Amino acid sequence: MSDAMAQFRDAFFEEATELADGMEATLLSMDLSAVEVEDLHTLFRAAHSIKGNAATFGFPEVAAFTHKLESTLEPVRQGDRPLTPDLRELLLQGVDLIRTHLYHARRGESLPVKEVQAQAALIARLQEDAGAPLPPMPSAPTTAAAKSVTMKGGRGYSIRFEAPLDAFRRGVNLERLFRDLAKLGTLQTWPDLSRIPPVEQLDPEDCHLAWDVRLETTHPQMDVEEVFEFVAEGDNLRIQPLAPEGSVPTLGEILQTEAGVSPADIREALSQQKRLGELLVDMGKVQPEVVNKALDQQQKKRNQAEASTVRVATEKIDRLVNLVGELVITQAMLAQASQQSNTLQGEEQMSAALLQLDRQTRELQERVMGIRMVPVEMVFSRFPRMVHELGKQLGKDVELLMEGQATELDKTFIEMLVDPLTHLVRNAVDHGMETKEERRQSGKAAMGSIALRASSRGGSIHIEVKDDGKGLNRDRIYQKALDRGLLAPGSRPSDEELNLLIFEPGFSTVEQVSDLSGRGVGMDVVKQNIRTLGGRIEVESEPGRGTLIRLVLPLTLAILDGLTVRAGDETYVFPLASVLESFQRQAADVQTVKGDREVISLRGEFIPVIRLQHLLGVVGHRDAAERTLLVLVESEGRRAAMSVDELLGQQQVVIKSLETHYKRVEGISGATILGDGRVALILDVPGLMRQEAGMAAAGA
Binding site for other proteins (CB under 8 A): 135, 138-139, 142, 166, 168-173, 176, 180, 227, 229-230, 233
Q: State the minimum distance, in angstroms, from the CB of residue 16 to other proteins.
A: 22
Tell me how far apart the alpha carbons of residues 571 and 350 are, in angstroms, rounded to a whole number.
30
User: Shortest Cβ distance from residue 173 to other proteins (Å)?
Assistant: 6
Long-range contacts of 596-602, Cβ-Cβ distance < 8 Å, separation of 24 or more: 596/699, 597/696, 597/699, 600/630, 600/641, 602/632, 602/641
Provide Rg for the chain, Cα atoms.
33
| DSSP-assigned beta bridge partners for residue 215 | 157, 187
- Tell me how far, at minimum, the Cβ of 213 lies from other proteins, in Å: 17
CA 563 to the chain's CA centroid: 34
Please, which residue, 222 or 579, has the CB nearer to other proteins? 222
Query: 291 CB contacts (<8 Å, ≥6 apart)?
Result: 277, 278, 280, 281
User: Shortest approach of other proteins to residue 130 CB, angstroms?
Assistant: 17
> E-assigned strands of 545-667?
546-554, 559-567, 570-575, 579-584, 590-593, 597-602, 605-611, 629-635, 638-644, 646-654
Q: What is the DSSP string of 22-77?
A: HHHHHHHH--TTS--HHHHHHHHHHHHHHHHHHHHTT-HHHHHHHHHHHHHHHHHH
| 413 CB neighbour count, 10 Å cutoff | 26
Q: Between residues 180 and 497, which has the closer beta carbon with respect to other proteins? A: 180
Handedness of CA 117, 123, 127, 130 (dihedral sign): positive
Pick between residue 142 and residue 494 the one whose CB is nearest to other proteins.
142
Q: Which is closer to other proteins, CB of 171 or CB of 677?
A: 171
The one-letter code for the residue type at 315 is E
Instruction: Report how far residue 699's alpha carbon sits from residue 133's, in angstroms, rounded to the nearest whole number.
Output: 79
Contact between 462 and 541 under an 8 Å Cβ cutoff? The reply is no
Distance in angstroms between the alpha carbons of the first and the last residue of the chain: 76
CB closer to other proteins out of 171 and 489: 171
- Amino acid making up residue 413: F
Q: Least distance in Å: CB of 231 to other proteins? A: 9
SS3 of 136, please? coil
Cα distance between residue 84 and residue 125, in whole Å = 13
d(CA 97, CA 339): 67
d(CA 46, CA 42): 6
Q: For other proteins, give the closer residue by CB, 239 or 682.
A: 239
> Which of residues 64 and 481 has its CB atom nearest to other proteins in the complex?
64
What is the nearest approach in angstroms of other proteins to the Cβ of residue 234?
12
CB of 191 to other proteins, least distance (A): 20
Distant-in-sequence contacts of 99-102, Cβ < 8 A, 24+ apart: 99/17, 99/20, 101/59, 101/61, 101/62, 101/65, 101/66, 102/13, 102/16, 102/17, 102/20, 102/62
State the nearest-atom distance from the C-beta of 19 to other proteins, in Å.
21
SS3 of 225-289: the string is HHHCCCCCCCCCEEEEECCCCCCCCCHHHHHHHHHCCCHHHHHHHHHHCCCHHHHHHHCCCCCHH
Query: Nearer Cβ to other proteins, position 230 or 507?
Result: 230
By C-beta, is 143 or 303 nearer to other proteins? 143
Closest contact distance (angstroms) between CB of 141 and other proteins is 8
397/446 Cα distance (integer angstroms): 7
Q: In b/e form, how buried is each residue of 587-620, taking b as 16+ CB within 10 angstroms?
A: eebbeeeeeebbbbeeeeeebbbbbbbebbebee
List Cα–Cα distances, 417 to 370, 379, 464, 559, 592, in angstroms. Answer: 19, 7, 12, 22, 47
Can you give the three-state secondary structure of 144-168, one letter per residue? HHHHHCCCCCCCEEEEEEECCCCCC
Q: Which of 140, 132, 138 is nearest to 72 (CA)?
A: 132
546-554: strand order across its sheet: 398-403, 448-457, 460-467, 546-554, 536-542
Least distance to other proteins from the beta carbon of 400, Å? 39
Query: Of 162 and 467, which CB lies nearer to other proteins in the complex structure?
Result: 162
